[in-house]
Structure formats: C-alpha cells, structure tokens
Amino acid sequence: MASTPDDLKYTKDHEWVRVEGDSARIGITDHAQRQLGDVVYVELPKADDRFEASEPFGSVESVKAVTEVYAPLSGAVSEINDGLNDDPESVNTDPYGDGWMIRLALSDTSQVAGLLTAAQYKDYIKEEAGD
C-alpha cells in the first residue's frame, strides 16, 4: 500500500500539500508516482508564476505517460525544486521529501479547508480502485 503521511493534506488529483504558515510545499503522492512508474522528467513553473487552485502548474513525464500536476491552492510560486532537473527520479524514491515540486505563497489560506485529510485520501484511492 502507498504511503500517506497523516500530517499532509491531499487532492483528488493526487497532489500532497504541506502547509507552513501562509505558504505550502506541494508534490505528487506516493500513490501517484507508483501509478506513473519511473519518472524521467519534471516540468515546473518559474518563480513568481501565479496559479489559481485546480490550474495545472507543470507536468511529470514517466516511462508510461505524461501527466499534468495541478495547484491545490491559489498563490504565487515562491520556490521550485531545481534538484528535480538533475534527479527527477527522486519523485519516485522520496515523493514527500526530496521529490517535492514547488512552494506557493498562498493568496487564500481558507482554501486549505477544502483539501482532503490522509484518511479521506486513502478512502478516495479505495473508491477510485473500486475496492
């Protein structure tokens, strides 16, 4: 079973969110990286790019497919994980650590309430799989 840390928030698009005050670190979940397979390239936005919640901010290319990654919250990109340029496979090996993608300076922290808890996300994965 995929790892789903309890201290994070999640989306139905399989992104995780670590809220840190008025900013959030974002990546794709362990479940998502398992579905994708070996990640070979990650396309990320530039610092200061602005995104609304549910808007695509980048993409992940694996040996199986290319998939968009969506901003779970609205805000401006305050930091990108440049390490993914040289080491995109860290999305596979450490999705909640070295595999993080962007940090957003949040424009509306109340949106956090609309994200899933770890338990809700686990239930969603089960529903999606038809279990």
Q: Is residue 117 part of a domain?
A: no
Q: Is residue 55 part of a domain?
A: yes
What is the CB-side half-sphere exposure of residue 76 using CA atoms within 13 A? Answer: 5
Tokens of 10: 């999640």
Q: Is residue 128 part of a domain?
A: no
State the average pLDDT over residues 71-82. Answer: 98
Query: Residue 71 sits in a domain of what CATH number?
Result: 2.40.50.100
Has residue 129 got a pLDDT over 90?
no
**pLDDT per position as a tens digit, 21-41:** 999 999 999 999 999 999 999
The total number of structural domains that make up the chain: 1
Has residue 1 got a pLDDT over 80?
no
Q: Is residue 36 part of a domain?
A: yes
Of 44, 49, 42, give the one whose Cα is nearest residue 92: 42
Q: Residue 93: phi, psi to the nearest 5?
A: -80, -30
**pLDDT per position as a tens digit, 27-76:** 999 999 999 999 999 999 999 999 999 999 999 999 999 999 999 999 99
Q: Is residue 83 part of a domain?
A: yes
Task: Provide the greatest CA pair distance for the chain.
Answer: 41
> Whole domain around residue 41: which residue ranges?
9-108
From first CA to last CA, the distance across the chain in angstroms is: 13
